[in-house]
Amino acid sequence: MLPMPTRFNLVAGSSEGTTLLNAFDGALLKAGAGNLNLVRVSSVLPPGAVYDEHLSIPPGNLVPTAYGAIDSDEPGTIISAAVGVGIPDDNSFGMIMEVSGRFSKKVAEETVRQMVVEAFQMRNKTLAEVKIKAVEHKVIKIGCAFAGVLLWY
């Protein structure tokens, strides 16, 4: 059995690059996750996980991460990514939602907030708090927007 993460942080960043992959790498670096091996997970916040804004993870680690990302090579395009974490009113599990697309940061934030609310409603859980992190990027040549929730031990 794998250990269950006990801490989490929300990160976001955007970047330009000479290729789509380099733009993604740059966005990860700007978000503070560029030297980690992200292992994409679905959207459940472990029970009792604590928010840690100054979460420090040694480079090279495998890090469970729920994230949204979008890249584009169409100059002038606005792209955004956002993550939202729903924290329950008890010590049970929470929910993580992510969104990315060709829309503004404001739309990304509003969309991900509604996604968190709906996820709680679907589970008949009471929502105590929502944390959101989002980023917007206007593509110059090749750009990427990334937002994620890093889960750690």
Report the catalytic residues.
37, 42-43, 98
Spatial separation of the C-alpha atoms in residues 81 and 11, rounded to whole Å: 10
Residue 93 carries which side chain, given as an amino acid letter?
F
